[in-house]
Chain A
Amino acid sequence: MHTFLLSKIEVGSHLYVNFTESAHLHGETIFVSSVVVALVSLFLVIGTSNLKRVPEGLQNVVEVVYELIKGIAFTQLGPSYYAQFLPFVATVFLFILGSNWAGALIPWKLIEIPHGELAAPTNDINTTACLALLTSVTYFGAGFKIKGLGYFGRYIKPSVFLLPINIIEDFTKPLSLNFRLFGNIVADELTVSVLCSLVPILIPVPIMVLGLFASSIQALIFSTLAAAYIAEVIE
């Protein structure tokens, strides 16, 4: 597609890593995702090594994060089921928060790649679609594991007339999770890019701070909704 670029901002150009003619990866997304996973794992491993009864240093931060995530899971899932799903909720929360903040805070522009640019991996719809599908698979799996085949009774509660709506909801839940996260991150990055191309000094800073706040809220929303969907299925 021939594009007339007014300001050197391209949406949707990626660094394609080709395996065969049709199978390819978005190289820059995979690279930043790996960096995010490595950083979050390093943070957690260092924070939980040498545990003391009275926490100090990095252990303090890790405990605050743990309390937050446990609060999310506990509020949504209740005391008897939250422990089973706490790892999933924590993974989703930490990955989304880590990738959004890594995309906003680390100066990726210093590394130049031949095609596309390094940014938050959640600005690629494949990442967010994968997270949404994982959530969907998890709540299906939770339903089957805890309720067995009685899981299908959920579709006709509270009344049989809601059956088509419940079926459609199975498709719109992951879709809305996907687009909410993707749209928020892309909108924030695009706003900052446009402002930087107009007035590169000082004006983009409030938008960047707003972007940091909004992206952390999105991580909270995604994990809260994931826990809420699982809770809805387990009842």
Chain B
Amino acid sequence: MVDSLVAAASVIGAALAVGFAGIGPGIGQGTAAGQAVEGISRQPEAEGKIRGTLLLSFAFMEALTIYGLVVALSLLFANPFVG
């Protein structure tokens, strides 16, 4: 049977991991999108390149949130301290 302290701590840890992991990349992606829109408005014919670079940058920033999600998932489903 699962120790209740370990279970409670894991749940809180998982929630905090995902919650805090969304803050930084959220701010970063918003800033990047804002600058991209400004770039497009300044030079509409460069839209293809700007969009490509923007999507590439989004994937890098998204990865940081995904790291938090991986920690949360491993705490919930593959917890080394349980059992």
Show the binding face of A for B, using Cβ within 8 Å. 1-2, 10-12, 176, 179-180, 182-184, 186-187, 190, 217-218, 220-221, 224
7 A-B pairs with C-beta separation under 8 A: A2-B83, A179-B63, A180-B59, A180-B66, A184-B62, A187-B69, A217-B58
Within 8 Å by CB of B78, from A12, A184, A190, A220, lies A12
Query: How far does the Cβ of A96 sit from chain B's closest Cβ, in whole Å?
Result: 13
Q: Does B1 contact A (CB under 8 A)?
A: yes
Nearest 8 A/B pairs, CB to CB: A183-B66, A11-B77, A180-B63, A221-B59, A1-B83, A183-B70, A12-B78, A12-B77
The chain B residue sitting closest to A175, CB to CB, is B67
**B56–A179 CB distance below 8 A:** no
Residue of B nearest to A13 (CB): B77
Interface residue ranges, B against A (CB under 8 Å):
1-2, 55-56, 58-60, 62-63, 66-67, 69-70, 73, 76-79, 82-83
Q: In whole angstroms, what is the CA distance A123 to B67 when docked?
A: 15
Q: Are B55 and A217 in contact (CB under 8 A)?
A: yes
Q: Report Cα–Cα, A176/B60, bound state, in Å.
A: 10
A182–B70 alpha-carbon span in the complex (Å): 9
Residue of chain B at shortest CB distance from A4 = B2
Chain A residue numbers with a CB within 8 Å of B2 are 2
- Interface of A, secondary structure class, is helix
A179 touches B66 (CB 8 A): yes
* A224 and B56 in contact, given A1-B82, A11-B77, A12-B77 (Cβ under 8 angstroms): yes
B contact residues around A220 at 8 Å (CB): 56, 59
CB distance from B57 to the nearest CB of A (A): 10
Contacts of B62 in A (CB 8 A): 180, 184
Q: Which residues of B contact A183 (CB under 8 A)?
A: 63, 66-67, 69-70
Complex: how many Å from CA A183 to CA B83? Answer: 25
CB distance from B83 to the nearest CB of A (A): 4
Complex CA distance for A179 and B63, rounded to whole angstroms: 8
How far is B58's CA from A179's CA once the two chains are assembled, in angstroms?
A: 16
How far apart are A43's CB and chain B's nearest CB, in angstroms? Answer: 25
B34 to chain A, nearest CB (A): 20
Residues of B contacting A224 in the complex (Cβ-Cβ under 8 angstroms): 56
Asked if A190 contacts B73 (CB within 8 A), the reply is yes
Distance, CA A179 to CA B59, complexed state (A): 12
Docked CA distance A160–B21 (Å): 33
Residue of A nearest to B1 (CB): A2
- Of chain B, the residue at the smallest CB distance from A177 is B63
Q: Which residue of A lies closest to B63 (CB)?
A: A180
- Please judge, given known A-B contacts A1-B83, A221-B59, whether A184 and B66 are in contact too, CB under 8 Å: yes
What 17 new A-B contacts, CB under 8 Å, besides A179-B66, A220-B56, A221-B59? A2-B1, A11-B77, A11-B78, A179-B63, A179-B67, A179-B70, A180-B59, A182-B70, A183-B63, A183-B67, A184-B66, A187-B66, A187-B69, A217-B55, A218-B59, A220-B59, A224-B56
CB distance from B73 to the nearest CB of A (A): 6
